[in-house]
A = this chain, B = another copy of it.
Amino acid sequence: MKKTHIDIIDPIHDFVRVYDSELKIIDTPIFQRLRRIRQLSSAHLIYPGAQHTRFEHSLGVMHIASMAGHALYEKGLISVDDIQNLRFAGLLHDIGHGPFSHIFEELLQKKRHSHEDIGKEIILKTKIGDLISKNGYDKRFITKMAFGDSKFQFLNEIISGALSADIMDYLLRDGHFTGAEHAKIDHNRLTFSLDVYKNKLALDKSALVNFETMMISRYQMFKAVYFHKTVRAGEVMLLESMNLAEEELELTSMNLDDYLKLSDEVILSKLLSLPEHNSKLKTAKKIATDYQNRNLFKPVFELALTGTTITKKRMRDIREELSKSSKVDINEIFVDSSNTSSIPLSPSKKESKSIILLEVDNNKTKAKEIQISNIQLVSVMSGFMKILRVYTPAKNRKKVEMAAKSILGDLK
């Protein structure tokens, strides 16, 4: 029997086929909420086109995961049902995201909590899980797949990781909507070339060039958008304001129902209308107001941390030293680092650091596992993506700049 479907027009994939069972999920208020969470929290301040949301991205990930699934199915590696499992997992991989996406994630982390945890709760305990079950699929298995916990690592890797539907969709989509990049990420070629080796996702060697191109594109998007100095200024402000308001708003400890009412605009209006009981709340409100008026923090110092990684502790120390040396209040000094979890490219623990290449030679398949960091250009670019930056409100610019130069000038 043919499954009923609709086709949703999408600027990245021309059209995304959505089957009836998926449409029912998409039409729940829980999923529709993703329409109110921008994919790139503050990027639209710099790239006005960047108004796209987690909603479209989720459809896109389902679409690419489905392509990847078909490729493995045609090679006899998975069943038709697993294609559908991959579709559900792709559709729902971001369902737990809070407002301002990765920014909220950093708040959650302090509670040893993550959007993945919330996502699991949503799939398992709300109507969404019921809709999956009613269609005869296993919501527990899909949840595991969506968040990297299934025992089939290669299925997890189709959802997230260096070769995932997630990265392919967001690079293409963020490039299209910002206008910053038009690099050709050949997701057709890449998904066609996927394979499995010892339970891990592998790539046909002939598509290595396409993988490299994608890594280059990631680097360019990192520089132009994800870690753009003004984009991050906005994000650092949102983070700071939410942090300061946390006791009052209890954003990270609310129950699921309340959580699901949050959106970018809702939180922003909460921050803009904070009571001014204490200095923390005053500052939080002030920062949000400055954000709204585009009166953004200024970057006063930047350092490439080639090689080195910098700990949270070290970042706090630097902040203190800068405050002492510059005589600027510590609450007006912000140290940002590109390996914070509030940027989309931060290396998650589970992200694979290697990639397996398969090559057919004399009808024998040879596998070779290479460290991503050993692909020459990729390794170089990764180095360039470790950056430390110092921000401060405009009025302190000179003082903090001087302090940073004297203290951090030789951090390397």
Contact = CB atoms under 8 A, between A and B. Distances in A.
A17 B204 CA distance: 14
Interface stretch (A85-93, A163-171, A250-258, A373-381): A373-381
Residue among A10, A51, A75 having the largest count of chain B Cβ atoms under 10 Å: A51
Interface in A175-225: 176-184, 186, 188-189, 192, 206, 209, 213, 216, 219-220, 223-224
A48 B184 contact: no
Interface stretch (A27-35, A117-125, A314-322, A398-406): A27-35
Contact of A213 (B17, B176, B220, B380): B220
Nearest to A383: B376
Contacts of A15: 186, 188-189
A89 B321 CA distance: 50
A56 interface: yes
A224 B209 CA distance: 8
Interface stretch (A1-9, A138-146, A236-244, A349-357): A1-9
Given A2-B75, A220-B213, A48 B44 contact: no
A70 to B, nearest CB: 10
A215 to B, nearest CB: 11
Contacts of A49: 9-11, 52, 56, 177
Contact of A12 (B7, B32, B75, B179): B179
Contacts of A360: 2, 4
B29 A35 contact: no
A177 B178 CA distance: 11
A9 B175 CA distance: 11
A9 B179 contact: yes
A372 to B, nearest CB: 16
Contacts of A75: 2
A294 B32 contact: yes
Interface string A315-331: 00000000000000000
A293 interface: yes
A137 interface: no
Interface string A277-317: 00000000000000001100000000000000000000000
A7 B55 contact: no
A230 to B, nearest CB: 10
Contacts of A223: 209
Contact of A14 (B10, B59, B179, B206): B179
A92 to B, nearest CB: 16
Given A9-B180, A52-B51, A384-B377, A188 B14 contact: yes
Interface of A: 2, 4, 7-12, 14-15, 17, 27, 29, 32, 35, 44, 46-49, 51-53, 55-56, 59, 75, 176-184, 186, 188-189, 192, 206, 209, 213, 216, 219-220, 223-224, 265, 293-294, 360, 376-377, 380-381, 384
26 contacts: A7-B206, A8-B48, A9-B46, A9-B178, A11-B49, A11-B176, A11-B179, A15-B186, A15-B189, A17-B192, A27-B293, A27-B294, A32-B293, A32-B294, A35-B48, A48-B53, A49-B56, A51-B51, A51-B52, A176-B176, A181-B184, A182-B184, A183-B183, A213-B220, A216-B220, A380-B380
